[in-house]
Amino acid sequence: MAIEWSKKVNDCLYEVRTAGATRRLYTNNVFHSQYNPNKVLQGGVWDLLVLPAFGCPRDKIQRVLVLGVGGGTVIKQLQCYLNPEKIIGIELNPLHLFVAKKYFGLKRASIQLIEDDAIHWLDNYKGKKFDLIIDDLFGHHKGEAERVIKLNKQWASVLSNNLSPEGLLVINFGSGSEFRNNAFLAYKKLSRQFKSILRLTLEQYDNVIGVFSKCTIKEKTMQFNFETLAGIKKNSVKKRLNYRLKVFK
């Protein structure tokens, strides 16, 4: 891939690499984001972060909160296919926000990008609740991506308290063990508030996407809506993404 842009700050090297229409964001060689306007499915965990939203009635996803913007792949996909009234993205790294705006095209009036610590921001948030919250809070350590906060009882409560009555929460876990030990599975009081709890994985990634929904999500509905709105005409999203789904509730 060609390097379109790079910048080094202290010991951290940021790069935007391109191959044709595909753009990727790397931070110290950690692959953060990818987007290609001509390709619906990116073939990465970003697809799984967006996919559950298609299991809800389309008009229900109007207010979206993305914690951890990176290059903005998830926001771009949501904007293209669901077009919510408002998407708020919280990102600690100002260079990630620069890349999201300049190279991933996140400039619409409906998108608000905020430079802040996402955990602190949501802890202090007092505004209107969200129909969809995506927690993609990852940093990097020794060349590997890792979550910056565990889904303990306190953080789980903060997230769920900011969901609308039929809200959807999607969380990127770094491993299967992280998902199995999350507070929503460990505490019945927390899990009872959700009608659907799902796990999504891709064979080539260690990440596990946890889906916690206050409305019922059915796989066939999710697939049909995604294929219809994204204009997938050949094969199904299941075959093209080759994801695995496990239903816990």
Q: Read off the pLDDT of residues 50-105 as tens digits, 9 standing for 90 and up.
A: 999 999 987 899 999 999 999 999 999 999 889 999 999 999 999 999 999 999 98
Rounded distance, CA 230 to CA 223, Å?
10
pTM over 0.85: yes
- Inform me whether the pLDDT recorded for 35 exceeds 90: no
- Answer for the pair 157, 191: CB distance below 8 angstroms, yes or no: no
**pLDDT at site 28:** 86
Rounded mean pLDDT, 187-195 = 96
- Inform me whether the pLDDT recorded for 40 exceeds 70: yes
- Inform me whether the pLDDT recorded for 234 exceeds 80: no
For the chain, give the mean pLDDT: 93
- Inform me whether the pLDDT recorded for 46 exceeds 70: yes
Q: Read off the pLDDT of residues 119-168 as tens digits, 9 standing for 90 and up.
A: 999 999 999 999 999 999 998 766 677 899 999 999 999 999 999 999 99
- Answer for the pair 102, 71: CB distance below 8 angstroms, yes or no: no
Q: 184-195: string of b/e by CB count within 10 Å (b at 16+)?
A: bbeeeebbeebe
Q: Is the dihedral of CA 205, 237, 244, 217 positive or negative?
A: positive
- Answer for the pair 62, 86: CB distance below 8 angstroms, yes or no: yes
Report in angstroms the alpha-carbon separations of 17 from 1, 20, 24: 6, 10, 5
For each of the domains in the chain, give its residue range(s) and CATH number, in order of start: 41-247 (3.40.50.150)
Residue 102: helix, strand or coil by DSSP? helix
Rounded-to-10 torsion of CA 73, 75, 81, 84:
180
DSSP state of 93: -
Report the amino acid identity of residue 182. N
Question: What residues does 27 pair with on adjacent strands?
Answer: 14, 30
- Answer for the pair 137, 147: CB distance below 8 angstroms, yes or no: yes
**Tokens at 7, concatenated:** 């910048």
Strands laid side by side in the 130-135 sheet: 111-115, 86-91, 63-67, 130-135, 163-173, 208-213, 196-202, 243-247
